[in-house]
A and B are shown apart, each in its own frame.
Chain A
Amino acid sequence: MSTISTPAESGPSSALTEPFHVRALLTVTAVTFLGVFLILPLVAVFTEALRNGLGTYVDAMLDPDALAAIRLTLIAAAISVPANLVFGVAAAWAIAKFEFRGKTFLTTLIDLPFSVSPVVAGLIYVLMFGAAGWARPLIDSVDLQIIFAVPGIVLATMFVTFPFVARELIPLMQEQGTDDEQAALSLGANGWQTFWHVTLPNVKWGLLYGVLLCNARAMGEFGAVSVVSGHIRGETNTMPLHVEILYNEYNFAAAFAVASLLALLALVTLGVKSFLEARHGAELARSHRH
């Protein structure tokens, strides 16, 4: 908020200076807006979580169903984030450094999960792998449960978080061009060496940033996971789903306790993100023009 009030402090020499009452009005409006819509809810989450004392808070966390939900969320993130990291880097490398037929189509396809409602994303998997799904015979033959089980949750999470890493890297890599790679090749490096020693170090901060956003979304995803999960307590509930169940049972303290964990994750993500932006701002700024 300091950035908002800075103009008010600058001297009368500034050509952009407005009269005092205008500045005050604008500042108050902005601060109020931020307070009501962002700060207050965040504070509410933590106060509600701790309303009945620290004991209740800890109990809610140590509840076996809550622990199962936390574990499942971590598993889903632990599989989908690395998978999307590998895919995102590969896709960005292909799109930014090579020319091929269908490149525009691939770029559009990567954006698909952003434009599709998460509920639809979940339904896609139900339609494919559910009781009447067309891929049913295939998975029955290998005796694998997908819908209402962990694989479905992982699939839905992967679908929703698919674009994060690739979207972060493509503009960055395109901006950097291919001179560095060509230089490495002319010096005798092979394709893998070029990628590992030149391309990847050039985008490492952008990559970390993308992974961070991808992870935050993977852990917080509700819609798509809700459709494929089946809400079986202790088995197919992720943290966001667990929060909803507790809330619907009027167990507010426990609901807010688990929710506070998710809020904490968001704060940590924001913190690391700001740190990255402060330290590697110039490099990251380029990738944010999309």
Chain B
Amino acid sequence: MEIVLRNLCKRFGGFQALEGVDLSIASGELIALLGPSGSGKTTLLRIMAGLEFADQGEVRFGDEDMASRPVRTREVGFVFQHYALFKHMTVRDNVSFGLRMRSRPRRPSRTDIHDRAEELLDLVQLGGLGDRFPHQLSGGQRQRVALARALAIEPRVLLLDEPFGALDARVRKDLRRWLRELHRTIGTTTVFVTHDQEEALELADRVVIMNIGRIEQAGTVDEVYEHPATPFVFEFLGNTNILSARIESGEVFVDGGTKPLRLHSTAPQGAAMVYVRPGDLRLADDVASAPDIPIVVDSVHRTGPLVRAEVRVLQGGAMLTVELPHLHHDTAHFLPGNQLRLRFLQHSVFPASIEAGRTAAPIDAIGYAAGRIRARADI
């Protein structure tokens, strides 16, 4: 089922939770709503479900206007962070609840309901546990029961509110992979909320990054990670080094660097900020060297798969973090006190006026989205 949201606004007392959100979700997509707490992602999900109503704006499932329909008649499957299983019912009764509550003409027979519940329990790999009570299951199993219960009503869309938030890291990873498989099997349009960028990137077809009641960027994993629209998106998706720079006649001069970076788009002359991930820094060599920043290594930590070095730019003293795979040949050179030269594998350039993106005010969000410049170093 296709979902269309248009110009959604929602205010709770003095707090603007959503401020003009537009989003289209194609049928069968798996979408992640990603953002820090207070960004409006859960509110958006609850408005789709009908658990919350927008002050203004449109909610459509396919051609049907849903904006004023209550949750009861929307036919959405909703999964809560803390499962919200009915404690006094067996697992099977939990799963069949939606079917049992139907009015008599629409209600399947008792045996059909029983069979359907068993089928769903098999689907979520809990076959044979139908007679247990929720408190006899582990967290991961409970969340799968909640999912089976939501699927029992054959929902038009599946909405999950931080579905793995209450689980420990190991179980979370397993369930993530499992949910991806399940989505491939059932094909229901699915939207889930998370504040974990790794979870969003690993699971979703498209990621919607939210901040202070607005959508900062919506796109595929590659789009948001490789081409972040705003400094906020860049910083939210991983560790970030920020360097100030100048743009002059189509070239970017990074402070402390000796060679300009090429700029592949037209951009206003003047002050700019260059964003680069710790893992995208390497030693400069004969083939590729820009921006060729002389640094001195301050400290080195080995963390298993990664070697992480803190380095100081010789000119200006800015601190940078460099991350290398532990077997990379560059690691031999990263010893405290060594003087080296760095190049970028990949980076983003944003006009300096909007570097305030760290604490981006919503007005600025438009400003820097429009003023985005993107450059890519040759690797």
Contact = CB atoms under 8 A, between A and B. Distances in A.
B101 A187 contact: yes
B77 interface: yes
A185 interface: yes
Contact of A186 (B71, B86, B102): B71
A204 B102 CA distance: 24
Nearest to A183: B84
A184 interface: yes
A189 B88 CA distance: 17
Contact of A179 (B70, B73, B80): B80
A182 B51 contact: yes
B72 A182 contact: no
Interface string B58-78: 000000000000111111111
Contacts of B70: 185
Contact of A189 (B50, B77, B101): B101
A184 B98 CA distance: 8
A190 B88 CA distance: 19
A103 interface: no
Contact of A190 (B49, B72, B85): B72
Contact of B80 (A183, A193, A201, A202): A183
A51 interface: no
Chain B CB within 10 Å — which of A183, A185, A201 has the most? A183
Contact of B101 (A182, A193, A202, A204): A193
Given A182-B51, A197-B101, A187 B149 contact: yes
B97 interface: yes
Contacts of B102: 188
A59 interface: no
A180 interface: yes
Contacts of A42: none
A202 B88 contact: yes
A177 to B, nearest CB: 9
14 contacts: A180-B86, A182-B78, A183-B80, A185-B51, A185-B72, A186-B50, A186-B72, A186-B74, A186-B150, A189-B98, A189-B101, A190-B72, A197-B101, A201-B88
A188 B101 contact: yes
Interface residues of B, number: 28
Contacts of B262: none
Contacts of A201: 86, 88
Interface of A: 179-180, 182-190, 193, 197-198, 201-202, 204
B101 A179 contact: no
Interface string B275-319: 000000000000000000000000000000000000000000000
B153 interface: yes
Contacts of B80: 179, 182-183
B76 A186 contact: yes
B82 A179 contact: yes
B88 A183 contact: no
Nearest to B98: A187
Nearest to B81: A179
A184 B88 contact: no
B104 interface: no
Nearest to B161: A179
Contacts of A198: 86
A201 B85 CA distance: 13
B193 to A, nearest CB: 15
A190 B97 CA distance: 12
Interface string B83-103: 011111000000001100110
Contacts of B51: 182, 185-186
B368 to A, nearest CB: 37
B379 to A, nearest CB: 48
Contacts of A187: 97-98, 101, 149-150, 152-153
A184 B77 CA distance: 11
Contacts of B98: 187-189
A197 B71 CA distance: 18
Contacts of A190: 72, 101
Contacts of A197: 86, 97, 101
Interface in B29-62: 49-51
Interface in B148-169: 149-150, 152-153
B72 A188 contact: yes
Given A180-B86, A201-B88, A186 B101 contact: no
Given A188-B72, A204-B88, 17 more contacts: A179-B80, A179-B82, A179-B84, A182-B51, A182-B84, A184-B101, A185-B51, A185-B70, A185-B71, A186-B78, A187-B152, A187-B153, A188-B153, A189-B97, A189-B98, A201-B88, A202-B88
Chain A CB within 10 Å — which of B71, B84, B102 has the most? B84
A285 B74 CA distance: 38
A202 B84 CA distance: 12
Contacts of B78: 182-183, 186
Contacts of B150: 186-187
Contacts of A188: 72-73, 75, 98, 101-102, 153
Contacts of B146: 183
Contacts of B49: 186
